[in-house]
Structure 1
């Protein structure tokens, strides 16, 4: 019995027989999807599978959460599994001072599955940041961090007697070597979203779980989505992202914010994809799809279109990030499917294509309108670090091997 089968047996132990098969197959598909993603970055299959299993965490807590779900049907699989994982992780954290707190706390994010009643929980690209550790790291580099109260209106469509709420924001300021003042903001609270969550729960639709800001013993934890969107939307300096695939480092002007070390499973690829998609939309007016259904992604179903492995000699050095763009069509909309990959140790870029042979082009707009059957690909060289201007647009160079 291989490692994957052992993991599946342990993770689904104790479930009713009728549910165990469905949950087991859902988990298997999600793990294999994550394995395929890691293989594209250059990892051998055995190592990619080992890393994928690590991303999903220990099977025993997962099994306990799944069993709790079936004993707590009112909450449902999504809420039960997330609440069990969340509570277990938070209670396991030792009490520490702000400067001793780790910056990243791992908590799974659970999404409902479109194919079964099971939920997908992955650690791969979802994490939480302790604001105590964040503040300590920024202050150690000479920044000042201030908590500011702001009044925010409650959207009219929400079922709330309140018309406004008071939100807390961390305002970070520092001086660059040029004498220019740097500034970025992070939320300490998000009461408007809390109201939205409460309304969704009342209506039987837990659309958000467990929310963007958590609190444990006075320590605030900020979700990775909110952290990253706050950085690119409020930073008045260019942003550079080093190691976006694994162990990312955010360069906020002269400040350096290391979110994790390589090998810890922390990634900021969703933010890079989002900002690169916005960058490409301007000149092309094309819909940019994250992924081209050639490389399975965590939020997709297990199925993917047939594809062919490519290893192309490129100008970039090992570790450089490239975006691979292919023409795709989804529900009648032509656009560009985008995957990110890194140059391997042999100086080649590994990716997958819908055809065994491809040609490389420079005209992105024509590429997107050419139809998914065309064997054409565009490569965007992003560099060893992804650079974003103050407008949030990503710098890239079109490359034709």
Structure 2
């Protein structure tokens, strides 16, 4: 049995065990068979839409809802005596541990996102700096301290170290004694800044840390979710859409997975300065997609965007004319017929280590930016 098949069988068995726990034996087997047939049939349909068997089974299970809800719902349908119903309800607490051990449950933690790092002033002796983009902080003994007014320089997606370790302690993530670094296995990352005695880390550096030693999956765009083992982190910045900031800042993680080696010199395209490409994808609303072009070697231009309700993707590229290709090997630094070869990769709702399965070519072979 392959690893993928084993994982799929394990997740399905765990769900069915949990959903039928505490029911009379005859009813339990009946419900087991009905649920299994429903899940497998739905998974077959999802496979036809492009999901792998493991992804399809997981989605079919997710659509059914929590197994505890199924158990209690069926208990009422079968009109159990009150004593049996109580026993079934009590059994849910016992079976929860078994279900978790079988790999069928996850814990979700919402992490508050900080979007602005503290601005550190620069100080010079002698000539006083001036300009519309300068704010003078202090002038003492011929030394002038100032800051730039461009808040975008210090804007990002930052997470508190103690929140991260509290959510991922079971995954082996630890915070150093001084609180200034996070570690997992033999890897570590340093804090970006401290505020009120607490250390804050770039979300992208935490993602990079996790992918060194754990299986990771991403979902959502406006408020991204990061699934690490049986833990899920929901990044919450209130009503603000942080999708572009989060996924673009993590572009080296996605590129390194695609290329098969560390890619550190990549950078994403600023939306305000480059042509916009509106592409019909056929993907579900809310999927995050990465556009990749190459300038040679490991120098890539990247931008990520969200699929809208019409299945359209809006991304930016310095190239006004693009031609979509199906593999990394087809990317290159040279134009062909005036067009740059480009790759589209769905980066949400599939394991990061299977990111190549997210590569797709849209119905439109080319795109002209506006």
Question: TM-score with structure 2 length normalisation?
Answer: 0.48
Which fold has the larger relative contact order, with Cα–Cα distance below 8 Å and residues 6 or more apart in sequence? 1
Question: TM-score with structure 1 length normalisation?
Answer: 0.45
